[in-house]
Chain A
């Protein structure tokens, strides 16, 4: 079964609203979680890396005030897309690592109208 649970799998929201995506590691303690974004027919692009209890490290070009990442525990990380706009519509994927292995969530399709 899945070892990383990502919710919701699909969300549609109005422009200007905020959306929270959750990523939970089910069977292990994730010291590090990663958030990716994928556009159609494009690679997964790493957005940020978060370690439990510390601030996330964002990749160049990713707005940290728009994509808020919280990694408050060893089993939960959240990505909040604040004041979402249509250009934020994309597929977001999380992954969790305990240094030995890496597991991916099933992704969240965000559509901003």
Chain B
């Protein structure tokens, strides 16, 4: 079945450091790929998404590129802020299924210190 593997956390960085959170997936065809973020005490929010190979999703300075050849969707940000501290979830939905079937990774906690 489909699966998502993301790096374990917590990831601890200083403000303005470069961030990479790795995410790889297993699925047939061309699933849609997502990054969700969960700030303390809040629900998951969609951060960015990509629906086909080589697409780059971007939002709030975060980027992730859909790499079919490596089945990866790594999240990057050039300069993190304290306010980026949250849990980040990589997820996929099978080709053509929209939001009806999301498979999530375990989540990676990011802690950014001043």
**A residues with CB within 8 A of B:** 2, 4, 6, 9, 32, 34, 41-44, 46, 49, 93, 95, 97, 99, 101-107
In-complex Cβ contact of B106 among A42, A105, A106 (8 A): A42
Q: Which residue of A lies closest to B36 (CB)?
A: A104
CB distance from A90 to the nearest CB of B (A): 14
Interface membership of B45, Cβ < 8 A = yes
- Nearest 4 A-B pairs (CB), nearest first? A104-B43, A104-B44, A102-B99, A106-B43
Question: CA separation between A32 and B102, bound complex, in Å?
Answer: 13
Judged by DSSP, the binding face of B is: loop
In the complex, the answer to whether A43 meets B104 with C-beta atoms within 8 Å is yes
Q: List 14 additional contacts besides A4-B43, A97-B99, A106-B41; criterion CB under 8 Å.
A: A2-B42, A2-B43, A32-B100, A41-B8, A41-B106, A41-B107, A43-B4, A44-B89, A44-B102, A46-B101, A95-B43, A102-B46, A104-B43, A104-B44
Question: CA separation between A32 and B106, bound complex, in Å?
Answer: 24
Question: CA separation between A78 and B8, bound complex, in Å?
Answer: 32
In-complex Cβ contact of B43 among A42, A99, A105 (8 A): A105
Interface size on B, residues (CB 8 A): 20
Count: A-B pairs, CB below 8 Å: 44
Residues of B within 8 A of A32 (CB): 100
Q: A43-B4, A44-B89 are in contact. Are A103 and B43 (CB under 8 A)?
A: yes
Question: CA separation between A99 and B46, bound complex, in Å?
Answer: 15
Question: CA separation between A91 and B45, bound complex, in Å?
Answer: 17
In the complex, the answer to whether A6 meets B43 with C-beta atoms within 8 Å is yes
CB distance from B5 to the nearest CB of A (A): 10
Residues of B within 8 A of A104 (CB): 36, 43-45
In-complex Cβ contact of A46 among B42, B44, B46, B102 (8 A): B102
